[in-house]
Chain A
Amino acid sequence: MGVTLTILSLIVLIPLTAVALKAAHQSPEAFWAAAFNDRSLAAYRLTFGAAFVAAAVNGVFGVLTAWALVRYEFPGKTIVNALVDLPFALPTAVAGIALATLYAPKGWVGQFLTPLGIKAAYNPIGVVIALTFIGLPFVVRTIEPVLRDAAEDVEEAAASLGADRLQTIARVVLPALAPAWLTGFAMAFARGVGEYGSVIFIAGNMPYKSEIAPLLIIIQLEQFEYERAATIAVVMLAVSFTMLLVINAIQAWSRRFD
């Protein structure tokens, strides 16, 4: 117990306090100017927007993947199942250079997008692609156990009462999955907001256009603007805490129906 608290304080709590203190080490005006100038606002918009879109994409394909893994038998299922966790196991920098190469204008995928007028790499779309890669397992792995535990007899009951398959899915299955789906979405979103390694290679990192908030922290740090770096970090930490509270609230809410 004592050991746990000591280590927790040394590794997590005290260093986190340092950021807050550093950010507070300037006038409120300076804090405001560092936190919410045009460049940082553009970075937040991109970071949160791309993380939201990527989490939504994963929200759709993550449910389908979890559904296929739990309900269907198909050849190669074990491999597919293992593969879903690849983003957890693959270093983000590796994912970053691989995606940047694939979606570059002359890359394997990029060459098909260019004639369509779509510029994927070095563009906000690239950020969404990287965050989709990073976020997928969060959605699949939160929905999967709930789907596995969901009693199929409830679906049978719905069917025997005359509901067709689509009605059963929409009125019985999806509502039961909603808390897990929201949790997975929130976790993918939270991870996406903080993600750095996989994004910077494909994003192009143009200020006001394709520059994410974590990169902005690094840029401030390289210019020895410690207060400004800490300020952006505080804004991002505030969002992280909020997401953590939201996830806990969703889980507490879902347990009420147990």
Chain B
Amino acid sequence: MRAVGTHRRATDDPAWTKAVIIGVVMLFLALVLVLPLVAVFVEALRKGVGAALAAISNPDALAAVKLTLLTALIAVPFNAVFGLCAAWAIAKHDFPGKAFLITLIDLPFSVSPVVAGLIYVLVFGLQGWFGEWLLDHDLKIIFAVPGIVLATIFVTFPFVARELIPLMQEQGTSEEEAAVSMGAGGLTTFWRVTAPNVRWGLLYGVLLCNARAMGEFGAVSVVSGHIRGLTNTMPLHVEILYNEYDFVGAFAVAALLCLLAVVTLVLKTALEVAQPGVRGRGGH
């Protein structure tokens, strides 16, 4: 590929340009991305490993970890199934209003997380549409776990569908048609042909969906009520500790979330290297 010796290809930049651009990019990324990441771990360990571990093993912190895991455990499979259904409907079928449907699926990406939380307060809150009915039946959604799950589902709604729609469109319908012509029913075709073909794209979408589900802050903050030990997710717990000037505690829990982010990025990169086809679809 690269030109050898003195002969330089027209699309190669001079060595000094290359060095300057790479230098500027590295500096910028170090300042904007690496420094905050390093700061989290340094602040968490400021008073030693023991203090950081104590902050993480505190009962309220453990409750927050549990709630975050529970939320992701409900929201991610829900959106994975929905994403599969939606992508299948959109990519393999033609119907009027398709473009509009895609726009609607994308909508949660462009709605502020705070607005996402607000809409559920207005529907299920005490002053909301179903507020009185829920109160009469002793059901709690807002300031309780169901509200947190709902808000999380909303903000992570598009991840899987977005990943799968272009992938399924690219693959076309010929394999499905072959399966149907050999006598496979609709469901069999879906589970035996369509779904296996997109499994890596699905995994990729699930990975990003999970990272956002565990890390969501704005939407969950509105519907949670911040009840310690009950409706506090990890990001909300970080906020509470930080606002109480318990910086070691806040950064220790934040460091856990950083590890989650790093693991996500490593898995994502590994997936991109192993399956180059899944990369760079649609954006977020």
What residues make up the interface of A, taking CB atoms closer than 8 Å to B?
1, 3-5, 7-8, 11-16, 18-19, 22, 61, 64-65, 67-68, 71-72, 74, 78, 80-95, 97-99, 101-102, 108-109, 132-133, 136-138, 141-142, 144-145, 152, 155-156, 158-160, 165, 168, 183-184, 187, 190-191, 193-197, 201, 213-215, 217-218, 221, 224, 226, 229-230, 233, 236-237, 240-241, 243-244, 248
Contacts and interface: CB of A to CB of B under 8 A. Distances in A.
Interface string B31-73: 1111111011001000000000000000000000000000000
Nearest to A213: B112
Q: Is the interface of A mostly helix, strand, loop or mixed?
A: helix
B28 A11 contact: no
A22 B242 CA distance: 34
- Scoring B113, B216, B284 by chain A CB atoms within 10 A of each residue's CB, the highest score goes to B284
Contact of B268 (A67, A82, A243): A82
A224 B118 CA distance: 12
Given A94-B235, A233-B115, A78 B26 contact: no
Given A18-B122, A93-B254, A230-B122, A155 B10 contact: yes
A71 B119 contact: no
B180 interface: no
Interface in B151-168: 153-154, 157
Contacts of B32: 132-133, 136
A88 B208 contact: yes
Interface string B227-271: 000000011101100100001001100100110111011101100
A99 B34 CA distance: 11
Contacts of A71: 11, 13
B26 to A, nearest CB: 7
A217 B112 CA distance: 11
